[in-house]
Amino acid sequence: MAAQAPVTPPADACPAPKPAPVPTIRRRLAALVYESVLLFGIVFIAGYLFATLTQQRNGLTHHHALTAWVALVVGAYFVWCWTRGGQTLPMKTWRLRLVATSTGQPPTAGRALARYLAAWLWFLPPLALHPLAHLPVPATLGAAAAWFCLWAAAARLDPARQFPHDRLAGTRIVAAESR
Residue ranges covered by each domain of the chain: 25-175
pLDDT over 80 at 11, yes or no: no
Q: Cα 62 to chain center, whole Å?
A: 28
* pLDDT value of residue 88: 95
Nearest CA to 80 out of 50, 42, 108 is that of 108
* pLDDT value of residue 139: 87
- Considering the entire predicted model, what is its pTM? 0.81
Q: What is the pLDDT of residues 144-176, one digit of tens each?
A: 899 988 988 898 888 888 999 999 999 999 998
- Report CA dihedral (97, 170, 106, 173) to the nearest 10 degrees: 0
Instruction: Report which residue type is found at 37.
Output: V
What is the spatial distance between Cα 58 and Cα 51, in angstroms, rounded to a whole number? 9
The enclosing H or E element of 100 equals: strand 96-100
The enclosing H or E element of 175 equals: strand 171-175
* pLDDT value of residue 93: 93
Q: What is the pLDDT of residues 47-87, one digit of tens each?
A: 999 999 999 888 778 889 999 999 999 999 999 999 999 99
